[in-house]
Structure 1
Amino acid sequence: MGTTADYKLIDLFSGCGGMTRGFVDTGRFRPVFANDFNREAIESYRTNFDPSGEHSVLGDIKALLDNGSCPVPQADVVIGGPPCQGFSLLNKKRLGDPRRSLWFQFMRVVELSSARIVVMENVRQLLTSPECFEIYKTLKNLGFRYVSKRVLNAADYGVPEMRFRTIILAAKDNHISLPQPTHCDPAKAADTEIRSLGMLDLRPWENVRSAIGDLPVPRGTEIRNVPPPLDLHFGRRPRPVSIERYKAVPPGGNRFDLHRNRPDITPDCWANKPTGSTDIFGRLWWDRPSVTIRTEFFKPEKGRYLHPDQHRPITHREAARIQSFPDNFTFSGSKIEIAKQIGNAVPPLLAQALAVEVIRSLEGETDAGYVKETEAVYKRIAEIKLAM
């Protein structure tokens, strides 16, 4: 790859800028426009990428485009995760006009910016939805000849987290490929057929210990005026009964262990429901990737968010590290708002893997053979998962 190009980047529905972080970290992209409707998220974005507020815009993108108050600059790449309307665009019970959909506003910016490449990210259900077909058709109508799409697992790219997301890459000029995995389930990393396909340095997944194992016991319950990482490494004020519940959950355990060990303090809603998710009120494992970090990771009743061996939920700093944010990334807003930004973000390491493939395509280094090889790797890894 070359090293001198300065590709212009637009990030829509940017949140705090997790995807921008990954692209900028390649050293090849310059942000020229970003938008989100959440004030605190835009403040975080500005702090990290746009201190003067020159290119980051707060507001509803449809309104901004409709009233002409926000000229869209020319750019090489448009990235983002436009929220989709329940993946039922063609459902007659909903308003079926695609122009009302946020992904359609995303495409308006793609057209206005004359972008050559598009990167879209969304929940895994998008891939098999009617909306995905409409997005694909719109990309083709805008002149994007090459489209690659698949559900990717962030753990396959060095993120210590099992986070499955639909990724759509589209290019006008050259082939474009999804990134080949760099990491794999440790039980599969030595597979000889994967190695024969070129994945010679496939490494085991990163785990929770690699992300947060060096952090001390958290102090206080508020954001602290100290240098990172300890600024966001604070706890909560759990009730005594909550602490007793935490103590009743063994390593790797969950609400079912709580019920077995301490039925006297198990909430009735769990005691009366003998089946269901095994992640609720669960402990993370030291030697595995985390479950998906969501916006309420500080509430163990929402998922497997208890610390591996301390009797508490994970902290904001621990969640940010699991999402692969560097400690020097600055978040703005309240505790609740920062948690939303962390949970909603695209992990920067996953974004960086996507950015590398975008550069390859922009510079004409991706051909049909590379795309085919990458698909063969995904297929082989999927076959191993089915066989186990």
Structure 2
Amino acid sequence: MTMQMEDSRATHPQDASVKTFRMGELFSGPGGLGVGAHLASNEHGKIVHQWATDYDEDTCRTYAWNIVGDEESRSVVHADIRKLDYEELAKLGDIDGLSFGFPCNDFSVVGERKGFEGEFGPLYTYGVQALKRFQPEWFLAENVGGIRADGGATLRKIFGDMIDAGYRIYPHYYKFEEYGVPQARHRMIVVGIRKDIDVEYKVPSPEVFADSDVSASTALAGIPEWAANQEPTRQSERVIERLNHIPAGGNAWVANMPEHLRINTRTKLSSIYRRLSSDKPAYTVTGSGGGGTHIYHWSEPRALTNRERARLQTFPDSFVFKGNKESVRKQIGMAVPPKGAKVIFEAILNSFAGIEYPYVEPSLMKYIPN
């Protein structure tokens, strides 16, 4: 069974009091934002799929199957954004909202931080171009927190371009574990409202989720046998032996590691063979990396399965990832947690419906150019 986000072109009775926003997505990923938008839809408003595009074929298949219900849906366009004619998207229908989680590699703290000079740095401009072309009522843009690493020059450039496209913006650094996600995943998210629309977005307060159980043990409990993507990771006896010397929450650099199991590298990344703590949120789920980066169980000497990683990302068990094991790992790691996305989309819907909710001030307003 798949979770299908309602397609705006399907025929169904409409409640005139419920506003429907048709959403387009650039850099859609496997559907984290799509699922979040579906879950956020309520009696005050709904967000429906109009079109989406991503450069990775498996990712598009995953999105199409789970969000649209048709793996070959033409509304999910497999294309390199740098070569895509937006008129092809326009043929698929107008949009009221736009989401784009533009690739973060060149802005990442872990990456080389090439910024605008890198292959991925300029990709946010395609989101800005889409804002100018489609003029949606609102947008949601997502990227890593490391984008602030140059003193804010990058953010001021990006924010300035979004404002010049015709939007008031509300940029905030979200810590998703504070919003009910069982993972320390920190992301910059910008919500924009078109300047001619009298709607004020407010960042939802994490206090609402203060009592949420975000422990890894709860997140990974009770995974049904029927859920897809549960293939185990093959591990050598040496790796198993190494893991048996690492306590919950520890990593490969523990002091009592036997000499023959030690890893001799100049840098000691904390994520190498790092085991989860059962009573705390997981550390950040990533989409790539070699040996020792797969996230490891707190008591069993093994890496997590992709389904367990998807649980930490809050994907429903019915969500099926397409592609081979490494492709699925990448898709999961690059996605926005649906539960975190749901909180933000709910706030957008409530803002347009004029419904008040607890909020905090946006944390990145200081980077908006004067």
Give the equivalent residue in structure 1 for 2:205.
Answer: 180
Q: Hey, what does 2:111 align to over in structure 1?
A: none
The residue number in structure 1 matching 2:128 is 107
58, 67, 84: which is aligned to 2:78?
A: 58
Distance in 2, matches of 1:23 and 1:30, equals 8
Instruction: In structure 1, give the amino acid aligned to 2:275.
Output: R
The answer for the alignment partner of 1:374 in structure 2 is 360
2:35 to 8, 11, 21: 21
What is the RMSD computed on CA atoms of the aligned residues?
Answer: 3.0
Provide the secondary structure at the position in 2 that maps to 1:33.
strand
* Maintained 8 Å contact 1:87/1:129: no
Contact 1:149 1:169 in 2 (8 A): yes
Q: Which amino acid aligns with 1:287?
A: D
Provide Cα deviations, 1:129-180, integer angstroms capped at 9, x if missing partner: 4232122212222221x32112111111111000010111111221112221
Select the structure of larger CA radius of gyration.
Answer: 1
The CA distance in 2 between the partners of 1:3 and 1:285, in whole Å, is 46
Q: Which moved more, 1:39-48 or 1:147-156?
A: 147-156
- What corresponds to 2:52 in structure 1? 34
CA distances 1:173-227 after superposition (whole Å, capped 9, x unpaired): 2111222115xxxxxxxxxxxxxxxx5x6314511011113349xxxxxxxxx72
2:216 alignment counterpart: 208
Shift in CA distance, 87/338, structure 1 to aligned 2, threshold 3 Å = closer
Name 2:3's counterpart in structure 1: none
Give the counterpart of 1:302 among 293, 296, 313.
Answer: 293
Segments of 4+ in structure 1 off by > 4 A? 93-96
Check whether the contact 1:284–1:306 (CA below 8 A) recurs between aligned residues: yes
- Contact 1:9/1:31 (8 A) holds in 2: yes
Distance 1:34 1:252, change over 3 A: same
Which residue matches 2:164?
141
CA-CA distance at 1:356 after TM superposition = 0.7
In the alignment, structure 1 residue 317 sits paired with structure 2 residue 313: no
Answering whether residue 273 of structure 2 is matched by residue 254 of structure 1, we say: no
Q: CA offset at residue 317 of structure 1?
A: 0.9
Q: Distance in 2 between matches of 1:283 and 1:300?
A: 14
Q: CA deviation at 1:340?
A: 0.5
Residue in structure 1 matching 2:94, options 74, 80, 89: 74
Which residue of structure 2 aligns with residue 7 of structure 1? 21
Output the CA distance in 1 between the equivalents of 2:288 and 2:81: 26
Aligned to 1:120: 141
What is the rounded CA distance, in whole Å, between the counterparts of 2:283 and 2:165 in structure 1?
A: 37
Q: In structure 2, what is the equivalent of residue 264 of structure 1?
A: 260
Separation (CA, whole Å) in 1 of partners of 2:189 and 2:248: 33
Structure 1 residue identity aligned to 2:243: Y
* Mapping for residues 277-356 of structure 1, pairs under 5 Å: 277-296=269-288, 301-302=292-293, 305-356=295-346
Q: Which amino acid in structure 1 is aligned with residue 328 of structure 2?
A: I
C-alpha distance in 2, partners of 1:85/1:204?
31
Query: What is the percent sequence identity of the aligned residues?
Result: 25
Q: Secondary structure at the match of 1:353?
A: helix
Match of 2:155 among 132, 155, 173: 132
TM-score, normalised on structure 2? 0.81
- Check whether the contact 1:295–1:343 (CA below 8 A) recurs between aligned residues: yes
State yes or no: 1:44 paired with 2:40. no
**Alpha-carbon distance in structure 2 between the residues aligned to 1:250 and 1:3:** 55
CA distance in 2, matches of 1:8, 1:26: 14
Considering fraction of residues, name the structure with more helix: 1
Distance of 1:25 and 1:154 partners within structure 2: 16
Counterpart of 1:213 in structure 2: which amino acid? A
Partners of 1:346 and 1:21 in 2: how far apart?
10
Distance 1:215 1:29, change over 3 A: closer
Q: Measure how far apart 1:46 and its partner are.
A: 0.5
Q: Distance in 1 between matches of 2:58 and 2:19?
A: 32
Query: How far apart in 1 are the matches of 2:226 and 2:17?
Result: 33
Q: CA deviation at 1:256?
A: 2.0
Q: Note the C-alpha offset of 1:292.
A: 0.2
Aligned position for 2:189: 167
Shift of 1:323: 0.4
User: Which deviations, in whole Å up to 9, do the C-alpha atoms of 1:34-74 show, x marking residues without a partner?
Assistant: 000100000000001221513111101231127x4443632
Instruction: Give the match's secondary structure for 1:346.
Output: coil
Is contact 1:85–1:101 with CA below 8 Å preserved after alignment?
Answer: no
Cα gap change, 1:237 to 1:95, in 2 (>3 Å) = closer
Asked whether the equivalents of residues 172 and 190 of structure 2 are also in contact (C-alpha less than 8 Å), the reply is yes
Q: 1:181 to 1:3 in 2, by over 3 A?
A: farther
Give secondary structure in 2 for the equivalent of 1:161: coil
- Deviation string for 1:274-296 (max 9, x for gaps)? x7343321210000000000014
